Amino acid sequence: MNNIWIFLKRSFIIFSVCFTILFILFSINAIYSIAKYKISHLKQNVLYSLKRPITFNLQPETIGNNNNFGMIVNDVLTNTQNALGVNRPIIFREPLPELPTEALTQDLLVLPKFDIKAPIWTVTSENKKEIYANLKKGVVIYPTTSLPGGEYSIILGHSSRYPWEPGKYKAVFSLLNELTIGDRIYVFWRQKALVYEVVDKKIFLPYPKGEEYTENIFPPNSQEKTLILQSCWPVGVDYKRIAVKTKLINW
């Protein structure tokens, strides 16, 4: 009995080690992308901490002894008057990103946080073979949704594929979970820049495995133009889905 237990224990250890090694080999592209981003992010934080200037908390009385100074500045920045003397809000828009060279001949998705660029492809049907064929060349707009700039668009991309499979976009969406609220997403569509802002992110079990699907967790909203970035989750496993919701803020 003791020998059987030792055999089972050794077999389990060997299986675990082999499984871990194979998982790393199969997901090497995604693991490399994640590790590269984590190291770069850590380096940036360290450099920022070292270079950050010392700041002083100035009290209102140090600025002309006027306690209403902040309120006055805020009014000037947020309001202006039209010809009738009625205050109207000023809408500040950040500058549109410059058109990359690649976007002159190909629609492009850019994740500036990770310095990732991927061609955007359209498909004519929900046929999985057609979708997967185009995912080898970049990211794909799900065929039943709007084109970028429309009311509700979904873009699919791989988070991880076997390293021997063709294509260089096997891990293009491996870092989706690192996106946070406020991050920018750029879409260059028909040589026009569209700026989206991340507003939400969810991981879910899709139908038919579960009862959730993208349009259910992020319902279309006629008040805003939405773009969803979606991929498999976790990295290296085709079990759940991760969906990042963004809204169009500049075009």
- Enclosing H/E stretch for 19: helix 2-26
Strands 152-156 and 226-233: parallel
Nearest to 119 by CA among 97, 98, 141: 141
**Domain assignment present for 191:** yes
- Joined tokens for residue 39: 């190291």
Cα–Cα distance list, 125 to 122, 155, 156, 180 (Å): 9, 14, 14, 32
Q: Give the model's pLDDT for residue 163.
A: 74
Q: Give the model's pLDDT for residue 117.
A: 96
**Domain assignment present for 68:** no
**Domain assignment present for 173:** yes
**Domain assignment present for 75:** no
Q: Give the model's pLDDT for residue 43.
A: 63
Q: Give the model's pLDDT for residue 70.
A: 42
Could you tell me if 75 and 68 are in contact, meaning their C-beta atoms sit under 8 angstroms apart? no
Q: Give me the domain span that covers residue 184.
A: 102-250
Could you tell me the pTM of the whole model?
A: 0.70
Q: Give the model's pLDDT for residue 238.
A: 82
Which residues fall within 8 angstroms of residue 158, CB to CB, at 6 or more apart? Answer: 135, 169, 170, 171, 172, 173, 231, 232
**Domain assignment present for 128:** yes
Distance CA 104, CA 192 (A): 9
157: CATH:
2.40.260.10
Q: Give the model's pLDDT for residue 69.
A: 38
SS3 category, 44: helix
**Domain assignment present for 83:** no
Nearest to 30 by CA among 176, 170, 203: 170
Could you tell me if 140 and 123 are in contact, meaning their C-beta atoms sit under 8 angstroms apart? yes
What total of structural domains would you count in the chain?
A: 1
CA 99 to chain centre: 20
Q: Give the model's pLDDT for residue 235.
A: 86
Q: Give the model's pLDDT for residue 249.
A: 96
pLDDT in tens, the chain (251 residues): 666 767 566 666 775 555 455 445 455 555 666 666 667 666 666 765 666 665 545 454 443 444 443 443 344 344 444 433 444 444 556 789 999 999 999 999 999 999 999 999 999 899 999 999 999 999 999 999 999 999 999 999 999 877 778 788 999 999 999 999 999 999 999 999 999 999 999 999 987 888 898 999 999 998 999 999 999 998 878 889 999 999 999 99
**Domain assignment present for 71:** no
**Domain assignment present for 217:** yes
Q: How many other CB atoms sit within 10 Å of the CB of residue 209? A: 11
